[in-house]
Structure formats: C-alpha cells, structure tokens
Structure 1
C-alpha cells in the first residue's frame, strides 16, 4: 500500500498545481520526506526530479547528499545542473570530487563553457572552496566601492572592468544588469547584442573576442547610480582543470 508521503512524491510529476501542492506539503513534512523522495526518484520524470531537488534544498537534510551526487550523472543536463547547485547550497563537502568529475564530463561532451550546466558546476565548486576565480586587483577594488547589497559592480565601471579582466587573460561569458531599489534587486534589460564565441579558437583569441563584444555591450548598457553589472568570466584553467 502506498503511504501518504509516497503518494505525494508520485505527484511531483503531475501538472503544475498538483506538483506545486505536493512540493509544498513535502517541504512541510521536512526530514521525514527525504528517504521516501530518494526511493521514489527512479520513477519520476525530468520535471519530478527537478521538483524533488527543490524539496531537498528547502528541507536542507544532509542525508540527501548521496542522492544529489547520483543525480550528477542524470541524462538531463538541467537535472545535473540543479543537483550541482543544490549540493553547494547545502554545503555537502563530499560533493567536491563528484562535481569535478561532472565538470570533466561537460568538457568531454564539448558542452560550451557558457551553457548553464558548466556555469552551475563551476559556481558550486567555487562555493565549496574547490575553485578560485581569478579576480584582478582593479576588478576587486571596483567591486569594493559598491553598496553592501549591490549585486556586482557599478555599471559606470563596466568598461574598466572589461579591460581589466581581458588584460588578465580572462574570458567574459555574459554580463547581466541589475537595478537596486530599496534593498531589492531587479533584472534590467541590457543590450540586444547576441554573440557566441568559437571555443575551438586559441585562448588569446577568445579573450580578445569577449573583450570586443563586451565593450560593444558597455557602449549600449544602462548606466545609473543604482544599476550594477555582474559579469561571469572564466580562466584558461577552467577549460583544462587537470593542467
């Protein structure tokens, strides 16, 4: 006979209302839901697995760590990405080596480094202290001048930030903008530029291409005292973590 918790787990794959209701009730149940969700995961589809990860994060039971680690080998890239992020948010230290393997698997699949899965895994490794981004001195100083709740760098410094990163051989992947109003952050539409890098090109070419496109973005970017830019960038070592 299916228990009430098992029935809720099965509903994670339902329509939006059913899944949302099951998610909320499982979060309310707390740690007692961890093992039933783990047991029910193999029967869930992509949507159900993603919702299960949300429950794991909300409940924050470290016993879900092995299950999240196993999801790093899932067939769906979004599931792998969300599992990586959840492992970092829950501070599962045992996840470092599995995350490194998951990142190497991204490289072996030739997943572009600016796609969300490798971005998410790099973020998780950084949060767990297993990856140290290159932050040039000027870049660090420019960020230090922002308000405590500023999500990035003042947009007025965007051009200087781009050149500083490129001068230190960093490749900028993308640069979202945020507006801070009354302590809250809001997404701001940036530019209409749509650019892609050729990841088969030499690193030096990638650096200069990202500089050129980013400077074009800076010429059209919103500038205001409460507008911030939060670029994501990578180092050459991110394409060769074994090097």
Structure 2
C-alpha cells in the first residue's frame, strides 16, 4: 500500500523526539507538509533540520491555554492533527500531589482538547480531516506506579471516541492509538539506571516488559517506528472507514480480544 499525503498539512505535537518525531517523519515521507512542535527553539530547529524538505516548526508550550492560542494564530488550519504531546512521571498515589495531577491533566488531556476545538471546524468545512490522540495501553491497564498518568490516558481515549461521534458525517475521522511500552528517549531515560549493570538498553527494555507488562505477547518494547506506522496509516485517506477506534500497538499487552 502506498500512502500519499501530498497536499496535506499536519501538526504533530511534542514531536522533537520519540514517538512524536517518528510520526512526523512518517507523515513527511508520505508527502505531507509537517509542523514540528516542542517547547524549546533549539530542539524544534534540530528536529526540522532532521526532517528537511518543507517541514517547519513551532516552539510553543501547548500545556496551557496561552500556548494553544499562540499556535492557532501562527497556524490557522491543518488537515491532520496528531495530539502526541504527553508526560509521565512514576509516583506512588499517596505521594502524588495536586500539582502533579494538574500538570498531567493539562499536558496530556487539555492540550488535545484545545487543539481539537481549534482545528476540527476547519477540517469539517473542507470535508476532510484526521485527528489522532496518542493514548496508551495504560488507559486500560492503569499502572499502579503512576495512576495519574493512566487516568489521563483513559481520558484521551474517551475524548477521541466522543469527538468521532461529534464529527459524524463531516468526512473527519478521530481515533486514538494505544502504544505499549516503547523504546523512546523518555523510556530510555527511565531505564538508564539499569543499563550500566552490564546490560544493553534493549535488554533493559525487555526486562522491564517482562517484569511490569508480563502479558506482552512480543515480550519487548516496540520501536517508535512501529507506533508511527499505525499513525501514518490512520492519517491517510485509506483509513476513511476507521473512526472512534482505540487502535492498539501494544505488543499484545492488553489481554482483551477486541
């Protein structure tokens, strides 16, 4: 299958590295004009340089309403919106204060709410659009070590489902993607303490999956490219009959048959 996104513009939030950058790269290679987003100009510029072509960047913190307004002013319309921006922070429930909960809610949920509210009407007016939310297998398997994160990802999945219904009949699809453990820069940072113990990063990732996600069928973390492949397909015209779905790229971690 050849995916051609020529003539489409795409925003991928939180895309200077990790899954976000892999999605931006995949969309770019499929022909879309991609806007990279991150909080710092240096990282945004570096990511844009890596993509090349017609890619451009917006160094804006989308974890607050002012950031969303600034982005809308700079970029008034998109054909494809990938709400990838997200944070995670292992913390026991009884040690997780309101500030941590609020930060996860603003970054992981409200950033997508604000951008969907801003860009969906324009997509509907054109009769075509794609909106993706990066959820997580943690939306279903709430991790005991970061309940606050799991709750935010459950909200993302619910938001995508509700928006898909709201956009019925417009030519716009809205879906969520549920990665499992993925060997991104963020996960690598979390695992770094295990690497010096005579292990490679890949082996540390396998050990993490076996210990904390024992239902994984592939028995290893996914690569960022494996997650991006799903996102690029869902962003394409070929996925026109897929909407309101929570699409798993979790390596079989979620022990559920649908």
**Between Structure 1 and Structure 2, whose CA radius of gyration is higher?**
1
The verdict on a shared fold, with TM-score over 0.5 as the criterion, is no
TM range (shorter): under 0.3
Identify, as 1 or 2, the structure richer in strand. Answer: 2
Q: Taking CA–CA contacts closer than 8 Å with sequence separation of 6 or more, which of the two structures ends up with the larger relative contact order? A: 2
Identify, as 1 or 2, the structure richer in helix. Answer: 1
